[in-house]
Amino acid sequence: MTTIIPAIDIIDGKCVRLTQGDYSRSREYGNPLDMAMAFEDAGCRRLHLVDLDGAKASHIINYRVLENIATHTGLVIDFGGGVKSDEDLHIAFDSGAAMVTGGSIAVKQPDVMLRWLATHGSDRIILGADARDGKIATNGWHESSDRDVIDFIEEYTGKGITQTICTDIACDGTLQGPSVELYRKILERCPGLQLIASGGIGSMADMEKLGEAGITQAIAGKAIYEGKITLKEIEQLNLQN
């Protein structure tokens, strides 16, 4: 059974969702703390929180939102967006993040990413692997690279990474289904990896497809906010897990 990790993306302190990473195609969904508390009430234990302002600016901006959610809920928060320095990492952990996702820094400063991994451990440092057309994208998805996403993930698993969040940008926010075949290929190459699927989930049927592909955790955002997956369905799924 695949567990849903609800997502909250932040711009200007507000909960938003983008379509295919396009900041000009955003929609606001209210107060982040209210959403986080609703997810906790539905039995969720983990939250995926992304500072979209931070991702664009290359440093953490919305850490107060992280702090507020961490203070008022018991959710285990994995945080990403703008974590590009030791200072950013300390701010994230000090503000209540249990885990931090390194995406752009893993591409551009692998020595720093590996130092964080050695210092904090694979249970607290997650690899972020965001892909467009099979190639890694960075800096809030504004920059593309020629790095193959599967090669990139395999390289980091060989260096101690055990958790990876992989988002197919073309699917993200579309509600048209996740990149199941991409995830199958990743797991074939990295069989011991805790792969967290992200992007495109639009229904509980999509969750079943991910489960059949061997994915145990998946991030859902827009599907929840648009009512394609209800909090009641999440609650029922959590009771089964």
Our CA angle for 88, 103, 63, nearest 5°, is: 30
Q: E strands along the chain, which residues?
A: 3-11, 14-19, 22-28, 46-51, 76-80, 99-102, 125-132, 135-138, 143-148, 163-168, 194-198, 217-220
How far, in Å, CA of 80 to CA of 141, rounded?
13
The catalytic position among 51, 53, 130, 168 is: 130
The catalytic position among 9, 53, 88, 206 is: 9
Q: Is 9 a known active-site residue?
A: yes
Rg of the Cα trace of the chain? Answer: 16
Q: By the 8 A CB rule, do 83 and 124 touch?
A: no
DSSP 47: E
Q: Is 130 a known active-site residue?
A: yes
As given in the structure block, the two tokens for residue 2 are 């695949």
Q: Is 200 exposed, middle or buried (0-12, 13-18, 19+ CB in 10 A)?
A: buried
For residue 18, give the 3-state DSSP assignment: strand
Known catalytic residues? 9, 130
